[in-house]
Amino acid sequence: MPIAFPVAAGQRITPAEQNHMYAIADTAVTTVTAATASNLSTVYVIAANDMAVNIAYRISCGGDGTQGSTRQNLQFNVGIAGASVGFSVVIDSTALAISALFRWEAEIMLIPVTIGAAGTYNTRIRGCVTNSANNIIPGTAANNTIPFGGHNLATGTGLETTVAQNFAFRCQWGSVTGGPTITNRSTVFERLG
């Protein structure tokens, strides 16, 4: 298993060091067509008492979708315990062409700041949405690539780290009018630290 920190030549790797990082991947397909926040990635469970200060949890995922016949905003969020938390990213409806096929990838992170019954945390989100039918030419909805990213502006509160917590990448459409759809094709979940 990869080590998440530098290793010197000849250094003995102890079991404690190997247990710092783990990863799980899957190709479960999930589609969101709703105008309410829904889990787009696989939902992973962070075990009770696994969170610690100076570690992070990351979900990386990606797939494809279709803007509706009526353009709709597309919102991405970090999901903890079935709720959207931290910084949200909204791809404006005008960024993608009507009925345009697109591909996307994204990464979210959960970073515990304090642990316990009322733990605190930071979140981070970044990714990209690209129209897939045409060459990439920024400035035209039919050809756009839209990078996005952000970090929550204030530390989130109320993260109970002594019980298991669900962690997922979430999204929602501005409306279901026009039949927009987004599909996740693969997810990787990692514990870093």
What CA–CA distances, in Å, run from 187 to 71, 134, 150, 153, 172? 27, 26, 20, 26, 18
Residue that the structure tokens 């919102």 belong to: 75
Specify burial of residue 109 (Cβ count, 10 A radius: 0-12, 13-18, 19+). buried
Q: What is the pLDDT along the chain (193 residues), one digit of tens a residue?
A: 344 444 444 445 454 554 567 788 999 999 999 999 999 999 999 999 999 998 999 999 999 999 999 999 999 999 999 999 988 999 999 888 899 899 999 999 999 999 999 999 999 999 999 987 666 676 676 678 889 998 887 788 889 999 999 999 999 999 999 999 999 999 999 999 7
State the pLDDT at residue 134. Answer: 66
Pick from 63, 96, 100: which is nearest to 182 by CA?
A: 63
Number of H helices, E strands in the chain: 1, 13
Residue 110 has a CB neighbour count (10 Å cut-off) of 24
Scanning the structure block, which residue is given the tokens 């783990």?
A: 22
How far is residue 104's CA from residue 27's CA, in Å, rounded to a whole number?
15
Domains of the chain: 24-192 (2.60.120)
